[in-house]
Amino acid sequence: MNSTTLNITIFSDELDRKESLLASIASQQVFLVASFLVACLFYAHHASRSKLPLPPGPPGWPVIGNLLKYPDSRRWLTEYLWKFNYGPLVYLNILGKPMVVLTTVEATHELLNKRAAKYSGRDLSVMAGDLVSKGYNLIFRQYDARMRLHQRLNVAGLNPRSAALYDPVLRLESLQLLHDILTESRAQPGSEGDQTPRPFNPRWYFQRANVGSLHVILYGDRLVKEDPTTAGKMDFLLTCPTLQALQNPPLVDIFPWLKSIPYALSPWKLRAESMFKEEEAYHLRNLRNAVNQPGYNVAKQVADSAKRLNMELSDTEISWVIGTLFLANGDTSPTFITWFLVMMINYPRVMHKAQQVLDEVVGRDRLPTHDDRPRMPYIDAIIDEVMRYRPVVPSGVDHLSVEEDEYMGYRIPKGTIIVTSQFSLARDKAAFGADAEEFRPERWLERNDLPIIGFGNGRRVCPGRHVAKEILWIMVTRLLWAYEMEAPIDPETKKKKVIDDRDTVPVGIVIGPSPFEAVFTPRGKWVEDIIENDFNNADFDVNRIMEDVARSKGL
C-alpha cells in the first residue's frame, strides 16, 4: 500500500469517527431536548394541577381545622348532611391533615375502583396499626408486596368456589341458631301451660352462629354454648386490643410525631406492647389449635402453603393473617343480622312476602338450603337492601391517596385521607332511585346494576366477602322460614314496643342498633318438629365435614 492510499484510508477512518461522534452528540442533544420538553410538560401539568382548587367543604378554625365539626359520634349523619351543601367531594382539614369525604357512588367508583392504584393506601393508626398490631393487621397495612402476599394466601380458602363448599358447615350452624332461639323462646319454668314465646335479646346467638361458622372454616372447631372456652373467645371479639386502640386512641394518633419520644416518656408504648402480646397470644393459640385439628381448615391450609412455597412467614404473621379475618367478622356479620331483625320487625310486609316465597319454593316439610337459592331472588334482595339501608360501617374504612390527583376540576393532594361515607352512598338517588331513603327490597329485582354497599372498594375489598355472603344468606333464609319476628308488648301501654332504627350504638367503627328484645314465634308446630328432629339427628363432627370439603377441593 503506497503512502497516498494510506493517507486516504486514515482520513476516511477519521471522518467516520467524527461522523459517528457527531451523530452521537446529535442523538444526545435530541434526547436532552426531548427530556427537557417532557420535564417542562410534566412540570406545567403539575403546576396547573396544583393551581386547581381544593374540593368545597365546611369552614374551619386555625390549627385545628374542622376537628370540632367532625364528631366521632354519629359522624355518618354529619357526612350525609354535608353532601347536600358541598356535593360529591367534601374537603376537611383535621389538624393540618387533608381529608376528602366521598358522598356519591359515582365518585367512589371512579376514585377507589377505577383509580385504585392511587387510592389503596391507609392512613395508619399509630396505636392500633403500628404499635398494637406491629403492622401485622391486614386492615391497617399499606398496599405493599407483603399485603398482596397475605391476600394471595387468603384467596385459596375464601374464593367463591371454596365458599360454596362450606355449605354443610353453614347448615349445621344455622340449625344450631334455630334450635337456640326455639329453646330460649320457650316460657320460663313455673309458667306451666303458657305457650307464649318469651321475648329476649338474640344478639349473643346471632354472634355465636355467625362467628361460629367462620371459626369452623378458619380453625376447624366449633363455638358452642356448652363449651366453657366459648364465652372467652366471644368476649375477646369485642374487647380485643386492636379494637380498644381504635375506640380509645391516645394522643399519639392525633400527633404522630409523639411516636419518636423515648419509651421512658411514652406510657402508651408500654401499654401497646402489652396489648400486642395479648392479641398475639390469642391468634397463636388459635393457629396452633387449628394446625393440630385432624380435619381441614383454612389456617392449616395457609400454614402449609406458606411452608411449601418457602414464603418465609413466621407463625406470628400467619396467625395474624387468619386472626384479622376472624376478628373483622366478629361484629360485622352479627350486627348485620341484628339490623335484619330490626327491619323485619318494622316492615312485616317484607317478612311476609319472603315467607310466601319460602312456602312456595321450600314448603313446610324441610329446612331451606342453598340449592333453593336460585328460585328465591327476593331473599337476596332483602339482604342487599338491609346492607344498603343500614350499612354496619356507615363511615366506611378510610383509604389514603398515595399521589396527587384531580377529579371534577378539584385537586386531591397526596396523603389525603379518603372517607367513603357508606351511609351517604346508600342514599344516593342517582344510583338507587328517587326512593333511596326508603327500605324497599324490590329495587334489587327491578335493576341488576345496583352497587353493593358494605364490602369495601378497589384493592382493599373485603377478602372474606364470599364466605360472609353465604353465611348471611343461610341465616336470614332459615330465620324467615321458621319464625314470625315481632317487637314485644310493653306491659304498661299494652302495645308493641317501638324498635327505632335510628337508635344506634357504636362498637369501634361498627354501628348497630341499641340492644332490644324481640319475640320469635314459630310459624307452626311443623317448624318446631322439623327443627327438633333435624337437630337431634345432626352430625356435629366438623372434622369429618371439613375433610369432605378438603376432598371436594382436591386437597
Is 138 domain-assigned? yes
Number of domains in the chain: 1
For residues 539 and 544, what is the distance between their CA atoms, to the nearest angstrom?
Answer: 9
Position 357, amino acid: V
Which residues span the domain enclosing 132? 126-553
pTM: 0.88
Is 260 domain-assigned? yes
**CA gyration radius for the chain?**
29
Is 313 domain-assigned? yes
Q: Where do we find the cell 394522643?
A: 251
Sign (positive or negative) of CA dihedral 341, 345, 351, 355: positive
Using alpha carbons only, what angle is made at residue 200 by residues 197 and 201, rounded to the nearest 5 degrees?
150
Is 229 domain-assigned? yes
* Cβ pair 514, 504 in contact under 8 A: yes
Position 245, amino acid: A
pLDDT for position 204: 94
pLDDT for position 329: 82
For 151, residues 6+ apart whose C-beta sits below 8 A from its C-beta are 138, 463
Short-list 413, 466, 533, CA closest to 162: 466
| Grid cell of 525 as nine digits | 308446630
For residues 299 and 156, what is the distance between their CA atoms, to the nearest angstrom?
Answer: 11
For 212, residues 6+ apart whose C-beta sits below 8 A from its C-beta are 173, 176, 222, 223, 224
* Cβ pair 131, 269 in contact under 8 A: yes
Maximal C-alpha separation, the chain: 132
Is 334 domain-assigned? yes
Short-list 395, 522, 378, 397, CA closest to 459: 397
| Grid cell of 75 as nine digits | 359522624
Position 303, amino acid: A
Q: Regarding beta strands 417-420 and 399-400, do their DSSP bridges make them parallel or antiparallel, or are they unpaired?
A: antiparallel
pLDDT for position 410: 98
> Helices 315-346 and 267-291 sit at what angle, rounded to 10 degrees?
90
For residues 469 and 163, what is the distance between their CA atoms, to the nearest angstrom?
Answer: 9
Is 544 domain-assigned? yes
188 DSSP 8-state letter:
P
Sign (positive or negative) of CA dihedral 350, 472, 206, 192: positive
Is 359 domain-assigned? yes
264 DSSP 8-state letter:
G
pLDDT in tens, the chain (555 residues): 444 443 434 444 444 454 454 444 444 443 333 444 434 343 444 444 568 999 999 999 998 999 888 877 789 999 999 999 999 999 999 989 999 999 999 999 999 999 999 999 988 788 888 889 998 988 888 888 888 888 887 777 888 999 999 999 999 999 999 999 999 998 665 455 567 899 999 999 999 999 999 999 999 999 988 888 888 888 888 888 988 888 777 788 878 888 888 888 888 888 999 999 999 999 999 999 999 999 999 999 999 988 888 888 899 999 999 999 898 888 899 999 999 999 999 999 999 999 999 999 999 999 999 999 999 999 999 999 999 999 999 999 999 999 999 999 999 999 999 999 999 999 999 999 999 999 999 999 999 999 998 888 998 888 889 999 999 999 999 999 999 999 999 998 989 999 999 999 887 789 999 999 999 999 999 999 999 999 999 999 999 999 999 998 877
545-to-101, 167, 296, 322, 517 alpha-carbon distances in Å: 45, 10, 9, 20, 34
Is 21 domain-assigned? no
Residue 286 sits in a domain whose CATH number is 1.10.630.10
Short-list 4, 36, 109, CA closest to 452: 109
Position 291, amino acid: V
Short-list 509, 433, 541, CA closest to 74: 509
pLDDT for position 188: 63
Residue 462 among known ligand-binding residues: yes
pLDDT for position 379: 98
* Cβ pair 242, 373 in contact under 8 A: no
For residues 497 and 513, what is the distance between their CA atoms, to the nearest angstrom?
Answer: 15
* Cβ pair 151, 120 in contact under 8 A: no
For 555, residues 6+ apart whose C-beta sits below 8 A from its C-beta are 296, 301
For 472, residues 6+ apart whose C-beta sits below 8 A from its C-beta are 210, 333, 336, 337, 383
pLDDT for position 331: 86
pLDDT for position 127: 87
Strands (E), 386-508: 399-400, 405-407, 410-412, 417-420, 483-486, 504-507
Position 285, amino acid: R
* Cβ pair 62, 88 in contact under 8 A: no
